[in-house]
Each structure stands twice: as C-alpha cells, then as structure tokens.
Structure 1
Amino acid sequence: MPIGVIINAASVLLGGAFGAFGGKYLSQKFKDGLNMVFGACSMAMGIYSIAPMKNMAAVIFAVIIGTALGLAIHLGDWINRGAKAMQNFITRFIPTPSDIDQSTFDATLVTVIVLFCASGTGIYGALVEGMNGDATILISKSILDFFTAAIFAANLGYVVALIAIPQFVIFLILFVAAGLIYPLTTPTMILDFKAAGGMLMLATGFRMVQLKMFPTADMIPAMIIVMPLSWLWVTVIAPLL
C-alpha cells in the first residue's frame, strides 16, 4: 500500500486549496521566512539519509557520473518542457489570476510542477517506500509540501492543488517499479542508494534558500546508477584494495 505516495499527493491537494482560499492573508515576509525553514528541513533530511552510507566512494562516483549524464542529455530541460506541457493543459481549465501577469504565472507554475513532480526528494521517497515500505521520507516531505503548496497557491490560485494528480501518478509508477527492483538488491546497496538520495535532498535545500542553484533535476540519474556502482565496488573493486 503506497501510504506515503497517497499522503504526499493529499498534502499538495489540501495545501493548494488552503493557500488559494486563505493566501491573501499571508504577508510576503511570512512566506519568505517559511521558505527558508523548508530549505533547512530539506537539508536535515538529506544529512540524515547520507549518514548511514556504506561505500562513500561509490556514492560520490554515482553522484558525479549521474549528474554529468543528466547535464549531457539536458535532462533538466526535458523535465521543464514536460512541466510546461502539463501547465498548458492545467490552465485550460483554470484561468490565470487577474492580479498576476501571464508570463510570471507560467514561469512560476512550471517551477512548482517540477518541484512537486520531479524533485529528487519525491523520486527518492517513492522508490524507498516501494523497496522496503518505509514511508518516512514521503511523509516528512508531505509536511513541507503542504505549506509550500499553500504559499505558491496564495499567488497562483487553485491550479496548484491540481498538481497533486500527476504527482500521484508519477510517484505510484516509481513505487511499483521499486518493488520489482528490491529483490535484486542488498542492504548495503539500499543504504548507498539512500545516501545518493540524501545528496539530492541537500542540494534541494540549497536551492530552496536560494544560496546555490544546484542542477537537481540533472542529478536524478545518480539514483539510477548508484546501486550498480555500490555492488561493483563491494564485489569487484574493494577486494582488490
């Protein structure tokens, strides 16, 4: 049962509705302050996930090679294009708020779609829950997503709440796929996988506080190659050292 996936989608749905309804009562200082706290929470979740890793070299190799691959194939650009197409579909049914210009609305909504549907934290959380049933990451993310959705919805309106639908579909697919992968893994591979996901959460935190804009979307391939690299390190490379 994808409990974490369901809770995460529900948090975006409810947060978006809450923000659209009561966002006009929130000051900009309040919104900015919460965003900084969200970033710190994401960093804390990342550090917590990195700490138990077993093979630092394999994780570092995975993050570097995976990010290089993502940058080479312009994965971030492809994700942004998909978000733009999703945004065009959503806005057919919900018009742009009258107090925001169309270009600003479009750019912000694309950012929100990527944040909720293609974030490293969400992908990592869905895969972890699918592998071992641990919904902790997605539940923790849901707390952040509720307030993040509320803040964005205060400016963009109810359209933010509808992003919960594609988010649920994407994370459910990842959840099912992870269940098929898990029997092929070892405990060491899982811990190294979590550490790679933690690196993405740490980078996401830096982006949220606008300290450094890491290419988090381009870092996603690291989570695909980290487990094979972990296995290779333990079975082939480490015995030779």
Structure 2
Amino acid sequence: MVLLGTIVNGVAIIVGTFLGKILHRIPEKIKTLVLQSIGLAVAILGIQMGLKSEQFLIVILSLLFGSIIGELFDLDGKLNALGLWIEKRIGTKEEGGIAKGFVSATLIFVIGAMAIIGALDSGLRGDHQVLYTKSLLDGFTSIVLTTTFGIGVLFSAFPVMIYQGFIALFATQIEKWVPAPIMDGFITEMTAAGGIMILAIGLNMLEITRVRVANMLPAILVVAVIVTGQYFYQQLFL
C-alpha cells in the first residue's frame, strides 16, 4: 500500500497531540533522553541506507553539486525565513492559539529531507521505513508542541498527509515513463544519498553537528540527472 507510511505518519501526529493534552508537563530530562534516543536511531537508519549504493561516486557527486545548488539558492534560509514570517503574521493575530499551533507544527513536520525521501521511498520501492521513523519523531514532537501551542497541532496532520501522499503517488507514476535501468539506478543511489541526509538529521538531533540538510535536497535531482546521463551514454557509446 503506497500511502501506508503517510497514513501512519498522520495518525502518529494525531495520537501525539492527544497525549500532549493529557501530559501537560513532561520533565526536561525525559524530553532530552527520548530525543537523543530517536536521534541515534535516525543516524543508524541513515548509515544503513547510505551503504546501499552500488556506485558511490554518483552519491558523492550528487551531494557535492546538490549542496552547491542548495547553498546558492539558500533553501534552508528561505524555508526558515518563511516559517518566521508566517509565525509573526499568525502570532500577531492569535498568540499561542490554534492557528499558530497549526502553522508551527506543519512547518516542522513538512519541511525536511525525511518527508521527501520517505515519500519517494514509499512510492518507488514500497518501503515505508523512513516514514515510520519520521512518524516516531513527529509523534513525540507533537506531544511537546501540544504542551506549548495546544490542540492546533492536531490539524497539521492533514497537510502532512496531503503533501507526502502526493509525492508518493507521483513517484509511482514515474516508472511508467522512465526505462527500468534508469529507475533501478535512481532508486539505489537516491536511497544512499537520502541516507546520508538522514544521517545528518540524526547528528543534528544529537547536537553533534549543525548541517543545513534542506540545502542538500537538490542532490536527489542531481542523482536523477547523473543516472540518466550515464544510461544514455552507455546506450550510445558502449
């Protein structure tokens, strides 16, 4: 089922919101330890995915050029600026209200490498592992956000499911138009490149590094370009 990971993600946010309403105060030590535990699990998942590459040079080149493109366009900065702008606009009207909780949670759950990579994995490979891990992250995060913003966090589950579901469904259609060798190569190397991004997310959660993962997202497009170019080169000259 292509949308299973997306549905689980949405349900996790809803359940987390209700738990957040029940658990008004969570000790800081528990929050920290749980986030660190999840961060370690995310890092291991990233390593596992990264090791699936069959042509690691493609992964290196895609991350190199993808990161340059991301930095030139400053995707991370623009996304953060958008979030701050929306929060200011909402906050002036309804400080701490439902609208602010909805917007804040949606930005956190939608903007990120795991949402895109996980949805692509669901659509291309039928593998929901990344979205299951994201569900765990989002579920706990929604508990914490609900204690701050209230029930508005609940409604963020719907744009998350629409956004990720659209990517997953779109990915299933790619196979109808793209030759199997290109698709197989793209899935393998995209998984590895995405794994390295997920490893970076885990390291960020552990506060070991501060990698601007959003700026690495164009690497997925670069993987597609390199794999496609390699395929046609082999067809024409080898």
Aligned to 1:144: 137
Q: Pick from 119, 123, 130 the counterpart of residue 130 of structure 1.
A: 123
Aligned to 2:223: 226
Distance 1:89 1:4 in 2: 32
Q: What is the TM-score when the length of structure 2 is the normalising length? A: 0.84
Tell me: CA distance 1:214–1:95, structure 2 relative to 1, closer, same or farther (3 Å): same
Tell me: CA distance 1:211–1:156, structure 2 relative to 1, closer, same or farther (3 Å): farther
Letter of the structure 2 residue corresponding to residue 151 of structure 1: V
Q: Which runs of no fewer than 5 residues in structure 1 stay unpaired?
A: 98-104
Aligned to 1:6: 7
| Residue 212 of structure 2 is aligned to residue 215 of structure 1 | yes
Q: C-alpha offsets along residues 75-112 of structure 1, whole Å, 9 cap, x if unaligned?
A: 11222244345546776997517xxxxxxx99xx75x5
Q: Report the CA distance between 1:199 and its aligned residue.
A: 1.0
Q: Mean Cα displacement is larger for which, 4-13 or 132-141?
A: 132-141
SS of corresponding position for 1:96: coil
Q: How many residues align?
A: 229
Q: Which runs of no fewer than 5 residues in structure 2 stay unpaired?
A: none
Aligned to 1:195: 192
Identity of aligned residues (%): 23
Aligned to 1:41: 41
Tell me: CA distance 1:124–1:172, structure 2 relative to 1, closer, same or farther (3 Å): same
Distance 1:44 1:63 in 2: 19
Tell me: CA distance 1:152–1:8, structure 2 relative to 1, closer, same or farther (3 Å): same
Aligned to 1:100: none
RMSD over aligned Cα atoms: 2.8
Alignment of 1:52-71 (within 5 A): 52-71=52-71
Alignment of 1:75-86 (within 5 A): 75-84=75-84
CA contact (8 A) 1:197 1:223 kept: yes
Q: Report the CA distance between 1:173 and its aligned residue.
A: 2.0
